[in-house]
Structure 1
Amino acid sequence: MGILTIPSSFYSHTSFLNQRRSRLPAKRAHLLRRPISCQTLSEELHCSQIFTNTNTNTNTNTNTNTDSKDEAAMKIDRRKMLMIGLGGSLHGATGVARQAIGYPIQAPDFSHCQTASEGPKQVNCCLPLSSSPIIEFKRPSILSPLRVRPAAQFVGKEYLKKYRKAVELMRALPPDDPRSFATQAKIHCAYCNSAFDQGGLPGMELQVHNSWLFLPFHRCYIYFHERILGHLIGDQTFGLPFWNWDSPAGMRLPTFYDEVGTSLYDPLRDPKHRKHGVVDLDHSLIDDPLSDSQQISQNLKLMYRVVMTNGKTAELFMGMPFRAGDNPNPGAGSLELLPHGAVHLWTGDRAQPFIENMGTFYSAARDPIFYAHHSNIDRMWTVWQKHVVKKTITFNDADWLETAFLLYDENAQLVRIKVKDCLDTTWLRYTYQDVRNPWLNARPTPKVRRSKAKAKVAAAETATATATVNKEKMFPLTLSSPVSTTVKRPRVKRSKEEKKAEVEVLVVDGILAVKEKPVKFDVYVNAPNDFGRLGPEASEFAGCFLNPQAGHETRHRYTLRLNITDLVDEIGADGDGTITVTLVPRTYTENLEIGALWIEFLST
């Protein structure tokens, strides 16, 4: 497969960003579809849609008639400065509900629900309405039992008997019961497939993926799901299992999920992966011809890259800020891309149109293994807090801490829970079985010796210096085949102190897919000519972009950020003024657009 080599001089990300900043927020495409008819919620729910003063609990109307022009300008300036400081872009300073800039996202109004979509498929993910007032979440007493979530590979017969029974009882509940398995699955669909607007902001899509909301939302969601299961079997100590796919002992589909006729079985899984094979944490819908030992080694090195390397800052690991009034999908964290997205694709049935059930947002939670998968994703958050950032509050930002979700508890009561409520698992009275994390020391290794790596960069610079491609015609770039280009590094030979204070980040911006299919491409730095054979075990692998729904009908542009601080050291390129970036399409990248590439720095 040939590579299109592009000179570094053909683009500047400035003009591209200016185009994005001048756009008004994208109008919700689903507003043109048939809304689901819902009965009116209680006054409590409607009151929750008005922005509240985070210093008090009183409701405050913040429409533009009460805000002065100076106040509005100050809010826009604050947002702009925040985003510039984070290396992001401002998506228009005016438009729908622009006065909300810089506020935390409020919980959605369940009575204003749209049909969710997956390609041509229209799905009713609307949730049952509550006639009772919404209750505010309160942390469980420290005297309440501590739930211990076990590793799936270590559970015993008695535990499995209880687990199967709990899910069986949940499946047997009426569909309109908020605790039923059907409704629990709809929760994920509603929050992830454009069924809801941001609370108080009609027309502004609520999306809990591809931002700093990914981990806290799923933690809260799984927490209440677990409590419902325990309540149904009368066991307050019941904890969901976690699929320990990051450890060799857990890198296969747990067998008890594949027993036909039990409550944990789902027929829509990849038949090639159900009985055989080690899970591929870098799965691209193609089974690599690796031995089990090779796949395990690759998985461990990928985990190191995801958590230890790309997790150096909260933005890089958890996702970029997403505030009220923002367009969705500002940028996913490394954990959401891999292994999270890859395990979803590996588990789903490739014979289905959208790799149902696990392979797409709207149906993923219909498979019981979804909850075990996300239990381990949640555990990765705790491991990262302990080994990388060594703190609980990773975004000391009120716009994150005060973001709210509405979820049902074990009593079918609607509860408003905020991000600040769920930052430590012990606050929620659960923990994880203590298991080894063998990937903590599985550092990737370079495939090209340092001297050769430098020679390749020099050769690339020479080649691009003689190219005569018109930069205005090259971007947006169509990624139908591998593409290599040189990218300028603004700062080289930084000291250890400088690298500790700021990480060097490669930005791939303006990613736009036109197919409503899973999109994946890999990113390599100074890769050798046989880059096709490289994988996550190589130092040259910077990371990947993976999104099960990148081509969703609302046509969002995405941004990928990858920490390359350690990488350039490992390949001996720290003193080089440019690096060669190679983008390798893996899954459904036909007509995929790339807007720009550049390097920025993020504070740790």
Structure 2
Amino acid sequence: MSSSILPTTSPLTSKPTTKLTNTPFISNRTLAIKTRTNQTHRSIICNHSPDNNHNHNSNHSHPKLIIPNIDRRNLLVGLGGLYTATNMPAALADPITTPDITSSCKEANSGIKDIENAVRTRKCCPPSTKKPIKSFVFPNEKTVRVRWPAHSRSKDQVEKYKKAIQAMQDLPEDHPHSFLQQAKIHCAYCNGGYTQVDNGFPDIDIQIHNSWLFFPYHRWYLYFYERILGKLINDPTFALPYWNWDNPAGMTIPEIFHDNKTGPPNPLFDIYRDARHLPPQTVDLDFGGGERDTTREIQIACNLSTIYRDLVRNGADTTSFFGGKYVAGDAPVANGDKSVGSVEAGCHIAMHRWVGDPTQANFEDMGNLYSSGYDPLFYAHHSNVDRMWTLWKNLGIKGHTELTDPDWLNASYVFYDENEELVRVYNKDCFKMENLKYKYLEETGGPWLKSRPARRSKNSQAASISTADVKTVDQLKFPVTLDAVLKVQVKRPAVNRSADEKAKVNEVLLINGIRFDGEKYVKFDVFVNDKVKEGEVVTPCDPEYAGGFAQIPHSGMNKMLMSSAARFGLTELLEDTNTEEDEYAVVALVPRVGRDDLTISDIKIELVPI
């Protein structure tokens, strides 16, 4: 089996880094249960960064009892009635609840391997206006803001956008609407700046990525960012651009973000971008750290197949698209049912790393989550990521339905709104864009819809897959270190399923317990049933490529290893590789970048209702 896709140079590597400390691994559902007592214990929840002169002391009348490895839902039974439904503390509520962001914030230093040479501050706490948190109120204006493709724009749209960004950059740095403070929002939320203190778990960080919080959090982030910019130029119709990288015409960095060689500086330009990827270089939506030796035409075709894979084949059910469940008490560094969504681990991560500057110690700006918000291109990128949610829903495919779990609906965040008020927002209020008074110019389809990888010609395939270097799942001793290509024979739950069965249930490959250094760029690719004849190379355009798992540096939780899971749709892949009759699927995991400390704990195939 060929383990390579389009020919690449050696993957980019970062500078030597310090080794991880031997910090104990925290279980997924470590519970902090507060006993009732009349004694008062004063403790500091967390510390502001040195440049934010606020310390938050909070009275706590309940010391903690730590009970590891117990599912919260079984707690009442396990304690034999010691705690009842009426006296269980409110801290055990399920939805993730962001605390007061101005008083419960700590320095986000994880994800920054080379702190000495970091070009952005790790002090990401927002300024305090000493205002109470208000409830969110839907906008009542009649005007709907229409977000526009950055590559196809009017002069008026560009001038308004530049004027708004310039106004934001001109604000004092300690203003909650300043460019610096808006950039810090992503750093704080995505690099462990906040803990689940309001849920009763002050020692467990909140992590936006690798779960079902990814889409709604970023939607709210952009919602307020857009409205702040509009207010700065007194324009209630102001709308953000989106980097339309799912369209061939938009598959380069848009011109409006280029450096002005002559004339005044462009407020949309950021110096910390990969010089190799400036226009006219075509984006690589499956970027793995190395450069492709291919033509623009082939790269575009592979990009379109990647979008199709992320939205259709690997996003066939709600969990696969949004990511796995993540609730109060869940630790981001633990094994569990959390998994990364298809878009997040796919084109989203690829574009972050493709833009980031490899000459910097930490791949600033877009190449690291703590620094991404300093590049105006980040917001156009995430506007298109947000648009992927709309495109996915509007496909009208069975299984493409919104989340309805109360733990997701009632998860909440706190932001400064356009009026400098602290506002608490909930997931349940963001999935209908019409209520938020914005839309996208293009909300359906695209050329990627016709980019399902072509079915493999049987003439190009061997009669069977060689099992000489293939292990069975039973032969593996988990966790398995993924420091070289690993080929595994995995039993399928059913073969030769009918069209009716496929319409009701999707066949999914699950890679569980993916454990990795959260402060490094990590990527491995997954190929299934590759039996192409000698001399042929499997690429992201081909049906054997199931997809990849990728992470850019972010919160390593004080240098602890992180854990996630990945899901890959097999129903179409098996059809297109002529292997529906096979009792076993041969899965090849191909590490690309960050293989140090990269392990997996389980590989299996399941049938998932859609």
TM over 0.5: yes
Check whether the contact 1:392–1:424 (CA below 8 A) recurs between aligned residues. Answer: no
State the distance in 2 between where 1:450 and 1:63 align. Answer: 69
Check whether the contact 1:147–1:239 (CA below 8 A) recurs between aligned residues. Answer: yes
Deviation at 1:515, TM superposition (A): 7.3
Partner of 2:113: 119
Partner of 1:478: 481
State the distance in 2 between where 1:443 and 1:107 align. Answer: 40
Partner of 1:572: 578
Check whether the contact 1:513–1:551 (CA below 8 A) recurs between aligned residues. Answer: no
Please give the residue correspondences for 1:46-445 in structure 2 after superposition, counting only pairs within 5 Å. 74=74, 100=91, 103-110=94-101, 111-117=103-109, 118-121=112-115, 123-141=122-140, 143-200=141-198, 201-260=201-260, 261-328=265-332, 330-389=338-397, 394-434=402-442, 437-445=446-454
State the distance in 1 between where 2:55 and 2:219 align. Answer: 26
Q: 1:22 to 1:363 in 2, by over 3 A?
A: closer
Q: 1:550 to 1:428 in 2, by over 3 A?
A: closer
Instruction: Tell me the TM-score normalized by structure 1.
Output: 0.82
State the distance in 1 between where 2:513 and 2:423 align. Answer: 37
Partner of 1:562: 568
**Between structures 1 and 2, the one with greater helix share:** 1
Deviation at 1:308, TM superposition (A): 1.2
State the distance in 1 between where 2:366 and 2:31 align. Answer: 28
State the distance in 1 between where 2:168 and 2:160 align. Answer: 12
State the distance in 2 between where 1:531 and 1:182 align. Answer: 52
Q: 1:464 to 1:224 in 2, by over 3 A?
A: closer
Check whether the contact 2:517–2:562 (CA below 8 A) recurs between aligned residues. Answer: no
Where 2:94 maps in the other structure, the secondary structure is: coil
In the TM superposition, what whole-angstrom CA distance separates every residue of 1:374-424 from its partner, at most 9, and x where no partner exists?
000111100101104579961111110010000111111111110011102
Where 2:464 maps in the other structure, the secondary structure is: helix
Where 1:506 maps in the other structure, the secondary structure is: strand
**Amino acid aligned to 2:214:** F
State the distance in 1 between where 2:218 and 2:483 align. Answer: 34
Aligned residues: 543
In the TM superposition, what whole-angstrom CA distance separates every residue of 1:12-37 from its partner, at most 9, and x where no partner exists?
xxxxxxx999776499xxx9997536
Q: 1:2 to 1:534 in 2, by over 3 A?
A: closer
RMSD: 3.4
Q: 1:445 to 1:393 in 2, by over 3 A?
A: closer
Partner of 2:520: 517
Q: 1:24 to 1:323 in 2, by over 3 A?
A: closer
Deviation at 1:277, TM superposition (A): 1.1
State the distance in 2 between where 1:305 and 1:600 align. Answer: 19
Where 1:503 maps in the other structure, the secondary structure is: strand
Where 1:533 maps in the other structure, the secondary structure is: coil
Please give the residue correspondences for 1:481-560 in structure 2 after superposition, counting only pairs within 5 Å. 481-514=484-517, 516-528=519-531, 533-549=537-553, 552=556, 553-560=559-566
Deviation at 1:286, TM superposition (A): 1.1
Where 2:256 maps in the other structure, the secondary structure is: helix
Partner of 1:54: none
State the distance in 2 between where 1:593 and 1:504 align. Answer: 24
State the distance in 1 between where 2:274 and 2:501 align. Answer: 46
Partner of 2:458: 449
Identity of matched residues, %: 38
In the TM superposition, what whole-angstrom CA distance separates every residue of 1:489-542 from its partner, at most 9, and x where no partner exists?
122222323222221111112222247321011000011366993222111111
State the distance in 2 between where 1:231 and 1:377 align. Answer: 24
In the TM superposition, what whole-angstrom CA distance separates every residue of 1:67-88 from its partner, at most 9, and x where no partner exists?
xxxx96556789xxxxxxxxxx
Q: 1:392 to 1:541 in 2, by over 3 A?
A: closer
Instruction: Tell me the TM-score normalized by structure 2.
Output: 0.82
In the TM superposition, what whole-angstrom CA distance separates every residue of 1:81-127 from its partner, at most 9, and x where no partner exists?
xxxxxxxxxxxxxxxx9975561111223212221122242711111
**Amino acid aligned to 2:190:** C
Partner of 1:36: 49
Partner of 2:595: 589
Where 2:404 maps in the other structure, the secondary structure is: coil
Partner of 2:6: none
Q: Which moved more, 1:532-541 or 1:240-249?
A: 532-541
Check whether the contact 1:512–1:551 (CA below 8 A) recurs between aligned residues. Answer: no
State the distance in 1 between where 2:346 and 2:490 align. Answer: 24
**Amino acid aligned to 1:440:** L
Moved over 4 A (4+): 19-24, 31-35, 37-43, 61-65, 71-78, 97-102, 388-393, 462-465, 529-532
State the distance in 2 between where 1:441 and 1:392 align. Answer: 18
Check whether the contact 1:524–1:540 (CA below 8 A) recurs between aligned residues. Answer: yes
State the distance in 1 between where 2:296 and 2:516 align. Answer: 33
State the distance in 2 between where 1:210 and 1:427 align. Answer: 27
State the distance in 2 between where 1:548 and 1:377 align. Answer: 16
**Amino acid aligned to 1:116:** A
Deviation at 1:349, TM superposition (A): 0.8
State the distance in 1 between where 2:75 and 2:397 align. Answer: 30
State the distance in 2 between where 1:463 and 1:169 align. Answer: 60
**Amino acid aligned to 1:168:** Q
Q: 1:429 to 1:498 in 2, by over 3 A?
A: same
Deviation at 1:573, TM superposition (A): 1.6
Check whether the contact 1:41–1:130 (CA below 8 A) recurs between aligned residues. Answer: no
Q: 1:76 to 1:297 in 2, by over 3 A?
A: farther
State the distance in 2 between where 1:470 and 1:418 align. Answer: 44
Q: 1:236 to 1:284 in 2, by over 3 A?
A: same
Check whether the contact 1:514–1:551 (CA below 8 A) recurs between aligned residues. Answer: no
State the distance in 2 between where 1:477 and 1:517 align. Answer: 19
In the TM superposition, what whole-angstrom CA distance separates every residue of 1:427-465 from its partner, at most 9, and x where no partner exists?
110111137611112111244628936x324x42x7758
State the distance in 2 between where 1:280 and 1:252 align. Answer: 9
Q: Which moved more, 1:547-556 or 1:520-529?
A: 547-556
Q: 1:362 to 1:73 in 2, by over 3 A?
A: closer
